[in-house]
C-alpha cells in the first residue's frame, strides 16, 4: 500500500479534482488567476506579513474592488500597484475580489 | 493500485530518509484519502520555476497527482537578493531555504543529477536513484554559461575569474575577492549581450559593489563593460544612481563587448581590442538553456532557448514536456526573472491539473515585479502584466499596465524584502 504519492494528509485540497460543476470550474479559474498575486501577497493571499505587505485573504469584496479601482484611477497612490492593477479587466478584478473574500486569513 | 516495484521502493526509502519519516507518521493517524489517481508528474529543477510548479500541482491537483521534484542541490539558494551578499548587507544563509516545506505538502523531493530524459518512453534516468517513469514532466533547468564565447575563460581561469551568476559558492567567493581587494582597487563587471538571466541584475550588482566601496573602500572604482548598446532595464533610474549616488565610483561603458580575457593579468579585452585591467574581474558569460534541455531536444530557438506553448508551457519541440523559467525563449517584453519563472510554474501546474481532469487548459495571466537594491536600503522596481494573445500565440504586455519606480525608496526596500519572504513561501512551503 505504500506509495510515494500517498503520504499527503487527509483533509487537504480534495474538492478541486474529480467531477467539477460549472461553478466549480469558475472557482478554479479564479483560483488560478489569484495565483498572480501570491508572489508578493502570499499563497492564496496569506502574506507572511513582513514589511507592510498586506495579505489579501479575507478582505471584503467591496473593499478589494474599491482599492483596485482606486489604484487604476490614480485615486490611491502606490509604488507598484497602480501599474499592476491596470493589467486586469473589470471581470478579472471581480473574480479576484470574490476569491480573496472567501479565503481564510489563517493558514490551513 | 499500481505495482510497488523495486525502483519505487528505492525512491521511497530515499524520500523517507530525507524527511526523517515525518510524513509516514502523519499517515498513520490519518485515514487514507479516497481520490481518483490522475497521474504522475516529474519536475526537474527546484528553482523559482520548478519548485513553484511542484507546490501548485499539489495545491491545485490534490492527492491524485503524484509529484516528484528533483534537483542536484539539497537546498534552494535565491539569485534575487544575492547581489546584497556582494554588497555586504546579507549572508548567503539568508537566501537559502530547504525543501522540507514542499515535502510537507506531499511532494517527493530528491537530490540527484538527472542524466537524461526520454520523452518517448516517458522515463528519466537518474544518477543515484533508479529510473522513473512519468505521465508528464516539467523541466525548469535554468541556464548554462557559454564560457567558450569569452576567449581565455577556460576551466583554469574559471577558478579565479568568477561569474557569480548562480547564487551559491561563487557569490561567497566573489564577496571574498572584494573584501581582499585593497582600497584604490578596480572591480570590473562584464555584461553579455541580452537576453541573459535577470536583465537588471548586472546594474544592481554594480550598485551593490559601489555601495560597498563608497562606505568601506572609497578610493576604489567599479567599471561596467556592457555588451549592450545601453542599460537594458530601468535605464533612467540606474543612470541617475550611477551618476549621482556613485559619481566618481561607477564608470559605465555601453557597447563594450568583452570577448576575451587575460586571466593571469586579470584583464578584460573588448572586441575592439581595448584592454581593461582589474583587481577583481567578474565576467558574466553569455547564456543559453541548460544542457539538460539541450540533450532532451528542447532547444529549438536560436540554438539557445526552448520555445513553449504559452497556454500550457509545453515545449513546441516535444508535447508532454513542459519547460519553465529562464530556459524558455521569452515572450516579448518578458524578462528572465525568478518572479516570471514562478508564474510559468503556476501556468504549467494549472494546465496539467486541467489536462489530467480531462478539461482543456485556458490561458493564464502572468505578472512580474523585479526589485533592484541600489544600496543596502533603497530599491527600484520594474513591473509588467502579460496576457495571452491568441492570434500571435504568445504573451503580450497589457497596454497601459506596468512601469518603473519614480525614484529609489526605502519603502520599496521593505516591499522587496517582503516579496522575498512571500515568494519563497509561495514556492517552498
- Please name each of the domains of chain B with its CATH number: 6-144+288-363 (3.50.50.60), 146-287 (3.50.50.60)
Which chain B residues contact residue A8 at CB under 8 A? 33, 58, 62-63, 105-106
The edge-to-edge listing of strands for the beta sheet with B186-191 is: B250-253, B221-226, B186-191, B280-283
Residue A95 covered by a domain: yes
Q: Residue B175's pLDDT is what?
A: 98
CA distance A1 to chain B (A): 8
Q: Is residue A58 part of a domain?
A: yes
Domain holding A70, by residue range, is 23-101
Taking alpha carbons only, the member of B141, B174, B420 closest to residue B280 is B174
In a domain, A11, yes or no: no
Percent of chain A surpassing pLDDT 90: 67
Residues of B in contact with A14 (CB under 8 A): 33, 35, 62-63
The model's pTM is 0.91
Specify the CATH number for the domain of residue A71: 1.10.760.10
Interface test with A, best of B5, B59, B335, B349 (most A CBs within 10 A): B59
Quote the pLDDT of residue B327: 98
CB atoms within 10 A of CB B73: 14
Q: Confidence band (pLDDT; 50, 70, 90) for A23?
A: confident
- Report the greatest alpha carbon distance in chain A: 59
Helix axes B410-428, B338-356, angle to 10 degrees: 30
Pair B233, B200: CB distance under 8 Å: yes
Peptide bond just before A3 cis, omega within 30 deg: no
Concatenated DSSP letters of B191-234: EPSSS-S-TTHHHHHHHHHHHHHHHH-TT-EEEEEESSSS--SS
A76 inside domain:
yes
How many domains does chain A fold into?
Answer: 1
Integer Cα distance of B353 and B360 in angstroms: 10
> Is A1 inside any structural domain?
no
Tell me how many degrees the CA angle A56-B201-B339 measures, rounded to the nearest 5: 30
Per-residue confidence (pLDDT) for residue B177, from 0 to 100: 98
Q: For a pLDDT cut of 70, what percent of chain B falls above it?
A: 92
Whole-number pLDDT of residue B362:
97
* Residues A87, A93: Cα–Cα separation, whole Å: 10
For the residues of B19-71, what is the DSSP string, one character each?
HTTHHHHHHHTSPPP-----EEEEEE--SHHHHHHHHHHHHHHGGGEEEEEEE
Neighbours of B259 (CB within 10 A): 16
The whole-number average pLDDT for the span A22-28 is 83
Q: Are B151 and B260 in contact (CB under 8 A)?
A: yes
Q: Is the pLDDT of residue A19 over 60?
A: no
A93 located within any domain: yes
Chain A residues inside the 8 Å CB shell of B422: 38-42, 47-48, 50, 53
| Residuewise pLDDT in 10s, chain B (429 residues) | 333 333 444 554 444 443 333 333 333 344 445 568 999 999 999 999 999 999 999 999 999 999 999 999 999 999 999 999 999 999 999 999 999 999 999 999 999 999 999 988 999 999 999 999 999 999 999 999 999 999 999 999 999 999 999 999 999 999 999 999 999 999 999 999 999 999 999 999 999 999 999 999 999 999 999 999 999 999 999 999 999 999 999 999 999 999 999 999 999 999 999 999 999 999 999 999 999 999 999 999 999 999 999 999 999 999 899 999 999 999 999 999 999 999 999 999 999 999 999 999 999 999 999 999 999 999 999 999 999 999 999 999 999 999 999 999 999 999 999 999 999 999 999
In a domain, A7, yes or no: no
Q: Is residue A57 part of a domain?
A: yes
Q: Is B35 on the interface with A (CB under 8 A)?
A: yes
Contact residues, A window 18-37, toward B, CB-based 8 Å cutoff: 18, 20, 25, 28-29, 31-33, 35-37
Amino acid at each position: 500500500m505504500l506509495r510515494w504519492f500517498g503520504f499527503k494528509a487527509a483533509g487537504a485540497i480534495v474538492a478541486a479534482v474529480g467531477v467539477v460543476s460549472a461553478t466549480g470550474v469558475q472557482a478554479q479559474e479564479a483560483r488560478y488567476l489569484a495565483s498572480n498575486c501570491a508572489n508578493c501577497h502570499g499563497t492564496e493571499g496569506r502574506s507572511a506579513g513582513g514589511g507592510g505587505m498586506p495579505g489579501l485573504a479575507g478582505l471584503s469584496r467591496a473593499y478589494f474592488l474599491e482599492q483596485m479601482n482606486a489604484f487604476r484611477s490614480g485615486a490611491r497612490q502606490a509604488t507598484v500597484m497602480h501599474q499592476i492593477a491596470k493589467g486586469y479587466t473589470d471581470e478579472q478584478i471581480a473574480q479576484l475580489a470574490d476569491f480573496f473574500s472567501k479565503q481564510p486569513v489563517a493558514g490551513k | 493500485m499500481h505495482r510497488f516495484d523495486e525502483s519505487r521502493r528505492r525512491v521511497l526509502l530515499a524520500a523517507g530518509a530525507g524527511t526523517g519519516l515525518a510524513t509516514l507518521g502523519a499517515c498513520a493517524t490519518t485515514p487514507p484519502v479516497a481520490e481518483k489517481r490522475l497521474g504522475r508528474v516529474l519536475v526537474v529543477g527546484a528553482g523559482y520555476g520548478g519548485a513553484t510548479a511542484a507546490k501548485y500541482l499539489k495545491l491545485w491537483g490534490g492527492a491524485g497527482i503524484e509529484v516528484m521534484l528533483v534537483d542536484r542541490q539539497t537546498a534552494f539558494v535565491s539569485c534575487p537578493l544575492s547581489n546584497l551578499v556582494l554588497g555586504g548587507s546579507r549572508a548567503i544563509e539568508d537566501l537559502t531555504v530547504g525543501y522540507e516545506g514542499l515535502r510537507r505538502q506531499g511532494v517527493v523531493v530528491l537530490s540527484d543529477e538527472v542524466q537524461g530524459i526520454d520523452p518517448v518512453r516517458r522515463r528519466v534516468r537518474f544518477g543515484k536513484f533508479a529510473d522513473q517513469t512519468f505521465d508528464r514532466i516539467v523541466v525548469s533547468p535554468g541556464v548554462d554559461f557559454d564560457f567558450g564565447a569569452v576567449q581565455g575563460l577556460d576551466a583554469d581561469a574559471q577558478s579565479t575569474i568568477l561569474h557569480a551568476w548562480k547564487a551559491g559558492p561563487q557569490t561567497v567567493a566573489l564577496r571574498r575577492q572584494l573584501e581582499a581587494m585593497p582600497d584604490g582597487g578596480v572591480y570590473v563587471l562584464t555584461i553579455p549581450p541580452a537576453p541573459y538571466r535577470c536583465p537588471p541584475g548586472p546594474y544592481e550588482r554594480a550598485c551593490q559593489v559601489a555601495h560597498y566601496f563608497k562606505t568601506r573602500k572609497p578610493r576604489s572604482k567599479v567599471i561596467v563593460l556592457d555588451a549592450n548598446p545601453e542599460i537594458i532595464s530601468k535605464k533612467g533610474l540606474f543612470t541617475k544612481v550611477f551618476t549621482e549616488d556613485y559619481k566618481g565610483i561607477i564608470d559605465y561603458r555601453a557597447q563594450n563587448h568583452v570577448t576575451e580575457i587575460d586571466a593571469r593579468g586579470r584583464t578584460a579585452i573588448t572586441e575592439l581590442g581595448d584592454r581593461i585591467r582589474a583587481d577583481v574581474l567578474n565576467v558574466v558569460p553569455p547564456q543559453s538553456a541548460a544542457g539538460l534541455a539541450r540533450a532532451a531536444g528542447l532547444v529549438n530557438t536560436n540554438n539557445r532557448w526552448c520555445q513553449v506553448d504559452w497556454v500550457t508551457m509545453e515545449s513546441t519541440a516535444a508535447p508532454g514536456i513542459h519547460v519553465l523559467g529562464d530556459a524558455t525563449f521569452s515572450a516579448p517584453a518578458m524578462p528572465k526573472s525568478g518572479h516570471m519563472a514562478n508564474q510559468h510554474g503556476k501556468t504549467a501546474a494549472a494546465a496539467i491539473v486541467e489536462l489530467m481532469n480531462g478539461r482543456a487548459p485556458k490561458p493564464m495571466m502572468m505578472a512580474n515585479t523585479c526589485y533592484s537594491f541600489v544600496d543596502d536600503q533603497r530599491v527600484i522596481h520594474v513591473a509588467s502584466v502579460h496576457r495571452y494573445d491568441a492570434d500571435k500565440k504568445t504573451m503580450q504586455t497589457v497596454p497601459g499596465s506596468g512601469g518603473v519606480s519614480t525614484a529609489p525608496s526605502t519603502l520599496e526596500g521593505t516591499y522587496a524584502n517582503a516579496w522575498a519572504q512571500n515568494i519563497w513561501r509561495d514556492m517552498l512551503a
